[in-house]
Chains A and B, each alone.
Chain A
């Protein structure tokens, strides 16, 4: 067995030498004529809807805003977690000073690499928390989901909503909980049926999920759609759909009750500007609606009554001003436990780590 102490010592010296060698680069401001090289790695393929699309819109906004100062290298279809580290390292070695990760599954690799590559700055979308040389940003999807829930609560006739769940991760859970809470805020009798597809993209299964939910009585369908499949399936079954993190009005204008989109450009632009100014620091940003936020309410159905539209506008303003908090108590979970009492609200950490379902959801989360 290799002598661990000696190996660690040598490794430590090597690391110290490397960091001191590179530290000259770490905090230098880019000269005015130098281009900022930005690298982005997508797990999937970029199309014109869905998660990857919004990630792409963000770096495109960088190109629009800094046409002469920023150069973006984009890699798509990097599906293996093992390959992520190699690709980011290669981008760093090729002189990219700002590197964006676009999904949670890249976070662990970026967290490991960021301290080792101080010549580049790392930002991970949907990462857990900021660390050395690594910033994270994520959207408060639940704010958008809550508002769409209000629309759903008003328009449902069966009082049963449906949610096509991709994976039981907190971002999905807090979104669907907020959806139901929003609906219950205007219609206390509403319940939500939940099925898990166990995939972010599986069009055939998503379509089956919509059929199943409808057969069980749901008449408003939401989920985490990356493609129009769910919305179209809902329309074909004759029920409403919600554009949760995606606006599919191009396909289902009448039947998409409400929608919201993601907008990561503030994160990208702020990070790029900071690197250009030499003031970049790793931070965690979790923003929702409002200026500089990552969530943007989008198209509503023409069939939505004007009164509901106004209600949505007012609620949106209230969320932005802080008056209306989607996760304000009292909130009871499925088992009857009161998660948050009247007058209090869930903390950010509690929301981000959510692993329970609100009372009224029929479905389950894997238990640990």
Chain B
């Protein structure tokens, strides 16, 4: 029994960066903005978060740095995609390449460095709390944070008026504007939020999960997060399940090897990506479900000029 629990826990922790990034992208896409630069944002978040913690041994400064970087870069993307109405796909790819390259560039001096934190520092001081301390020793505060985030977001989208407005903006910006909502500001807020979350997701990988920095750490998780949002049909509760499912896939693949399943390892490595494709197909098939779930104005400026 403890075996299964510990595997579950490992899957949850592995899925946490996916959850952060996917929830952030979910909000962004709900407002109608398609941000494909999540991978680049995560890399930048990973390096700035790592650098901040490396310099100060303070977890929360790292989170702050990562979030701020992600937010700032995503706002720059927002200027392109929202204000200037540039093609979202192009702008998102530019952000990805920019983030990955800049991350490698500024991270060069720190390659191979690892963090040496005490348990207290690692948990940002939370293991020292009188009653709640032990809660944080096995489950990192940022994992708890992701659950709080999920809860908050679920409540926000289902129960609050603001959540409704966000959805309205993504469905029909023209109508929302006619009612008097500041559409562009809302889109900027949503994009910035997504960027902050992606930054934190990256920092989680470098600071919490591995405590080390090298290039290529994010390894495509940003793209999986984008896929996750569609997998979840833009609903937070499905996002969290998906995140843990995909977090668990790598573990499952390694377990499959360790237990002696005769499948070639490369095939096992490919399963998370194949699974995403299959899920995408299954979800998209249900035409009505897609139509009800897709923010109708997602990536609206997809038309090409010239």
A366 in complex: contacting residue of B10, B108, B215, B264, CB < 8 Å = B264
Contact yes or no, B265 A228, CB < 8 A: no
Please tell me which stretch of B30-38, B75-83, B110-118, B274-282 contacts chain A, meaning at least 4 of its Cβ atoms lie within 8 angstroms of it.
B110-118
Chain A residues closer than 8 Å to B209, beta-carbon distance = 203-204, 207
Q: How far is the CA of A192 from the CA of B218 in the complex (A)?
A: 30
Q: Take A205-B250, A208-B14, A215-B7 as given contacts and tell me if A193 and B210 are in contact as well, using a CB distance cutoff of 8 Å.
A: no
Chain A residues closer than 8 Å to B114, beta-carbon distance = 227-229, 232, 251
Nearest residue (CB) in B for A213 is: B258
Query: Chain A nearest CB: distance from B230 CB in Å?
Result: 23
Query: Chain A nearest CB: distance from B39 CB in Å?
Result: 14
A20 within 8 A of B: no
List residues 222-252 of chain A with CB under 8 A from any CB of chain B: 226-229, 232, 251
Contact yes or no, B251 A212, CB < 8 A: yes
Q: How far is the CA of A194 from the CA of B256 in the complex (A)?
A: 11
Nearest residue (CB) in B for A50 is: B112
| Most chain A beta-carbon contacts within 10 A, residue among B209, B254, B255 | B254
Nearest residue (CB) in A for B6 is: A215
A196 within 8 A of B: yes
Q: Take A45-B215, A203-B210 as given contacts and tell me if A215 and B255 are in contact as well, using a CB distance cutoff of 8 Å.
A: yes
Contact yes or no, B258 A216, CB < 8 A: yes
Contact yes or no, A251 B210, CB < 8 A: no
Residues 101-139 of B, flagged 1 when their CB comes within 8 A of A and 0 if not, give: 000100010011110100000000000000000000000
A66 within 8 A of B: no
Chain A residues closer than 8 Å to B211, beta-carbon distance = 229, 232
B293 within 8 A of A: no
Nearest residue (CB) in A for B114 is: A228
Contact yes or no, A196 B217, CB < 8 A: no
A301 within 8 A of B: no
Contact yes or no, A202 B219, CB < 8 A: yes
Q: How far is the CA of A250 from the CA of B205 in the complex (A)?
A: 22
B259 within 8 A of A: yes
Q: How far is the CA of A285 from the CA of B269 in the complex (A)?
A: 36
Nearest residue (CB) in A for B10 is: A211
Contact yes or no, B216 A201, CB < 8 A: yes
Chain B residues closer than 8 Å to A47, beta-carbon distance = 111-113, 214
List residues 61-120 of chain A with CB under 8 A from any CB of chain B: 77
B residues neighboring A (CB under 8 Å): 3, 6-7, 10, 14, 104, 108, 111-114, 116, 205, 209-212, 214-217, 219, 250-251, 254-255, 257-260, 262, 264-266, 269
A residues neighboring B (CB under 8 Å): 44-50, 53, 77, 193-198, 201-205, 207-209, 211-213, 215-216, 226-229, 232, 251, 362-364, 366
Q: List 18 A-B contacts (CB under 8 A).
A: A45-B108, A196-B265, A197-B254, A198-B265, A201-B214, A203-B210, A204-B205, A204-B209, A208-B254, A209-B254, A211-B251, A212-B258, A216-B255, A216-B258, A226-B112, A251-B114, A363-B258, A366-B266
